[in-house]
A = this chain, B = another copy of it.
């Protein structure tokens, strides 16, 4: 959109481009849609953004995004304190909550170890995790970081921390996705699945 047309529209397109996956074309399409056909949607989005930016913070126990003093999972008496699932982000918690009937708690790192970017154990709150392991209330820590180089390194770091305190450590399984065709799976996954084969139990 040439800025000669409407500076306000340009500004809205620029602001929309801060959203992940939104470029110039998509931003323009979104801005025009809102202004031409859904002003109510524009105002509602503005209000939701302001409210969320003002009120949503991180749960001091697990790091999950929440507008409460503690997140719903940490505040719930029904979630076991002895099981802790380590994930990289709030989105991972949402995915696990939808897919599994896990009844333990989470620890949200908000990223993974990445020394080159200056992200070490402290930046991820791993000192906080260490104190929880020291307290003796955790019996199993489930490593659910992503199967990337950084995610694996983070899982390894935490597993050593847990081993030093005699806490059982498990890693979620990686391999050929259910329903996936072998021939369509990438080599790395297939190699991992082959090496990680288990005794067949019928």
Q: What is the CB-to-nearest-CB distance from A42 to chain B, in angstroms, rounded to a whole number?
A: 4
Total copies of the chain: 2
Q: Which among A85-93, A166-174, A192-200 touches the partner chain?
A: A85-93
* Residue in B closest to A4 when the chains form the complex, CB atoms: B72
Most B CB within 10 A of own CB, among A9, A15, A47, A49? A49
> Chain B residues with Cβ under 8 A from A132's Cβ?
none
Identify A18's interface contact among B6, B45, B73, B91, CB under 8 A. Answer: B45
The contact string, 1 if C-beta is below 8 Å from chain B, for chain A 5-49, is: 111110110111011110000101111111110110111111111
Does the CB pair A38–B18 fall under 8 Å?
yes
> Chain B residues with Cβ under 8 A from A38's Cβ?
18
A-B contact pairs, 18 of them (CB 8 A): A4-B73, A5-B93, A6-B66, A6-B71, A7-B67, A15-B45, A16-B48, A19-B30, A19-B45, A28-B94, A35-B52, A35-B53, A36-B89, A43-B50, A43-B53, A45-B45, A45-B46, A45-B49
